[in-house]
Structure 1
């Protein structure tokens, strides 16, 4: 009897372990980039046993970062687990891509979400990365259940990607986004790419048909009142309102910090879950 109870306890413990969420890495070789790229992937509790498909949030890191930032600095697994357990967010897969540079602290060459000479990252993201991830994991793969968000440089990538591909994303949520060019780009490839992919100017330049397409995206923009990018985010809000594109805009107490982005993530998980459920 004692042995049977021990085996039963072990089985229960094993089941509990398999029911936990986890973050794993996925690496594959890109033909476009001629290099291997790795992403971090959050799988919700029960993913292995459910057999069903899940909505997906692409969650982008900022400059001087890499695909592990949201897990290591942003506490995203605990935030997602708590939101799902509380019922404020739906179980979802969260994919954290890598747009790091080759230099010290992940800066320098190849940093960023846009194409630069010799490094077509944006093409890679849409032509190789998203298809590879959505083949590997049980992802629903339709617009309504695909969302994108990101902080700082990743907020700029979020805005540009959704502006260019409203047919792919049901929700787009820049956090403290790099939404305008800053400084003199000079010979800096990253700054030039930011100047050439300016979300505020992109919104101003939308045709009537393109603006109508943006109204099919659920927009949420969040930036702290002490953030050095606050004015750029206000300009984005103004440009969107002038084009009659609805968005939820939040300016809360805080700056360009991980503490701020952690609190923002709670709200964003709830916001995208409403879109997933519609």
Structure 2
């Protein structure tokens, strides 16, 4: 590990909304512990079958973030990796996903408990322009849907191989009807198509990014999402590279995402914290 590398924390919080403990991991950029600065924050949502550590173990997120920050391609940022795994050995059972299902209000947990905890615990810049969200596959749909529902909370939203346009293509949806219903109810493409003028104006405040491989089984849905956004005049930075629905594609697409959200953050050095705020710690 290089001396100017970021660090990783693995944490657990008690959720009153879910009635259980939920794990999450956090990447802290080099210098975070030195104090005196606040950092933008990126939420990175995992694909189905993943857990809060998956972006670290399979997605090489700490290494990619360190390299992007060192090179100046990305601004120093805090990256939060929540857990939306399902039950069972392979994390694909009940309670899977970032959307709420009967008896499991995950979205309320995410926005009413996790986000406030992160802003209270770490040196974040708690402003929508300094908050972004990223997801791969299942997490990609959720990242876009969260920003559509809460444009007041996110300045940028990015999907890598997102399950958009045709969410019924999810293999897990065949066996879990609640999960399937949650995917369909939150489809970002349908929301864009059905959005009114006021919705469109709010969505234009968010920077949107989507990247899906030409050999990905979700590529048609991603193209439909791009066309829906274009049809409503909502800017979307769309990428289609050579590749499939796998971690190689997502790893190679991560650094451009970090650059994209850094532009959304404003490309400025982290703001200094006032001394009196620092003393209250």
* Closer, same or farther: CA 205–84 of 1 in aligned 2, 3 Å: same
2:232 maps to 1:239: no
Aligned pair in 2 of structure 1 residues 255, 187: CA closer, same or farther (>3 Å)?
Answer: closer
Q: Sort the Cα spacing of 1:245 and 1:277 in 2 relative to 1 into closer, same or farther, 3 A.
A: same
Q: Does 1:64 align with 2:49?
A: yes
Give distance in 1, aligned partners of 2:174 and 2:109. Answer: 24
- 2:33 and 2:205 map into 1 onto residues whose CA distance is 32
Pairing of 1:165-244 with structure 2 (within 5 A) = 165-179=150-164, 180-182=166-168, 188-244=177-233
**In the alignment, is residue 123 of structure 1 matched against residue 108 of structure 2?**
yes
- Of 246, 249, 252 in structure 2, the residue corresponding to residue 257 of structure 1 is 246
| RMSD (Å), alpha carbons | 1.4
| Structure-2 separation of matches of 1:112 and 1:164 | 16
| Counterpart for residue 271 of structure 2 | none
Detail structure 1 runs of 4+ shifted over 4 Å in the superposition: 183-187
Show the counterpart of 2:125.
140
Alignment match, 1:11: none
Identify the range of structure 1 (103-112 vs 88-97) with the bigger mean alpha-carbon deviation: 103-112
Alignment-derived partner of residue 85 in structure 1: 70
Q: Which moved more, 1:32-41 or 1:172-181?
A: 172-181
Task: Kindly tell me the number of residue pairs found equivalent between the two proteins.
Answer: 262
Cα distance per residue 1:143-169 (max 9 Å; x no partner): 111000110000010011011011111
The structural deviation recorded for 1:185 is 5.4
Alignment of 1:35-74 (within 5 A): 35-74=20-59
Name the CA distance, whole Å, in 1 between partners of 2:235 and 2:177: 34
Structure-2 separation of matches of 1:254 and 1:142: 35
TM-score normalised by length of structure 2 = 0.90
Higher relative contact order (CA closer than 8 Å, sequence separation 6+): 2
- Structure 2: gaps spanning 5 or more residues: 268-281
Q: 1:188 Cα deviation (Å)?
A: 2.0
After superposing the two structures, state which structure 1 stretch, 234-243 or 183-192, moved more: 183-192
Question: Which of 265, 269, 272 matches 1:276?
Answer: 265
Partner of 1:27: 12
So what's the TM-score if we normalise by structure 1?
Answer: 0.91
Contact 1:185–1:192 (CA under 8 A) maintained in structure 2: no
Matched, 1:110 2:95: yes
